Amino acid sequence: MTKKLSTNGFSVVEVVVVLFVVAALGVGGFFVWQKAKHNDHKTSDAKTQTDQKTDTSKDNNPEPADPSEGGKYLVIKEWGVRFPLPENMRGDVKYGLRTDSPANQQSASFEVDSLSTLPGSSCNFIEQSDGSGLSGGTGVLLVRSPQPLDASEGVGSGPIYTSKDGKYYYLGTPKYLCASDEETVGAANNALMTGIKSLEELSN
């Protein structure tokens, strides 16, 4: 007689096969999860190290200081000097340089924007036709010379400052009024001259 196979339930072999497949999937999934976790940890460590390097580089390369201290000083960067400005003139003053040959001395003139708008004003810079630079402005001059000067050369009785590299700085008084409003121009020039007398070198 031929035996009939039972169709009710699962045979032992089928159960074992199913359990084996489930176990294999579980073990495989576990290893995949472990590997992903390990990679995430490495990525996190690398990011932390990168962040630390970035922070260190910021510490080693601080932002350069503003020599004008927010406009409190007028900085003549070509000369490496500065002088204080009164609060009402901060951001209102520009300088222009002129080189005088053959003495190789330079002079700085100053232009004040608020004076340039006065009626009949001639307080602006003038470009020299010989290409030596700018002159004019308010009439106040700061002269920089490699050797001492005397009063006959249009400067005061002595230098207001001598730099570490042996340059002499002199204050030249205005020889003209650049606008008809004498009071306003005079006040601006006096403020400039007061500041120039406190001239100082920029710290390295």
Nearest to 167 by CA among 109, 80, 95, 83: 80
Nearest CA to 107 out of 85, 91, 125, 84 is that of 125
Q: Are residues 50 and 89 in the same domain?
A: no
94 shares its domain with 192: yes
Determine the longest span between alpha carbons in the chain, in angstroms.
143
Same-domain check for residues 59 and 160: no
Residue-level pLDDT at 14? 74
Confidence of residue 5 (pLDDT cuts 50, 70, 90): very low
- pLDDT of 44: 55
In a domain, 145, yes or no: yes
Same domain, 23 and 123: no
- Is residue 97 located within the same domain as residue 47? no
Read off the tokens for 168: 């002499």
Are 169 and 162 spatial neighbours (Cβ–Cβ below 8 Å)?
yes
Q: What would the pLDDT profile of 114-139 be if each residue is shown by its tens digit?
A: 999 998 899 999 999 999 999 999 99
Identify whether 2 is part of a domain.
Answer: no
Percent of the chain with pLDDT over 70: 76
- If asked whether residues 49 and 92 sit together in one domain, one would say no
**H or E, element range at 127:** strand 125-127
- What pLDDT score was predicted for residue 158? 85
Evaluate whether residue 19 is within a structural domain: yes
How many whole angstroms separate alpha carbon 75 and alpha carbon 80? 7
Whether omega for the bond prior to residue 146 falls within 30 degrees of 0, making it cis, is no
Digit-coded pLDDT (tens) for 56-110 = 555 565 666 899 999 999 999 999 999 999 999 999 999 999 998 767 899 999 9
Query: pLDDT for 11-61, tens place per residue?
Result: 777 777 777 777 777 777 766 667 766 665 555 555 555 555 555 555 565
pTM: 0.68
The domain containing residue 92 runs over which residues?
Answer: 73-201
Together in a domain, 54 and 77: no
Q: Cβ of 202: how many Cβ atoms within 10 Å?
A: 14
Residues 197 and 129 in one domain: yes
Q: What is the mean pLDDT of the chain?
A: 82
Q: Which of helix, strand or coil describes residue 146? A: coil
Considering its fold, how many domains does the chain have in total?
A: 2
Please, which residues have CB within 8 angstroms of residue 28's CB and are 6 or more apart in sequence?
none
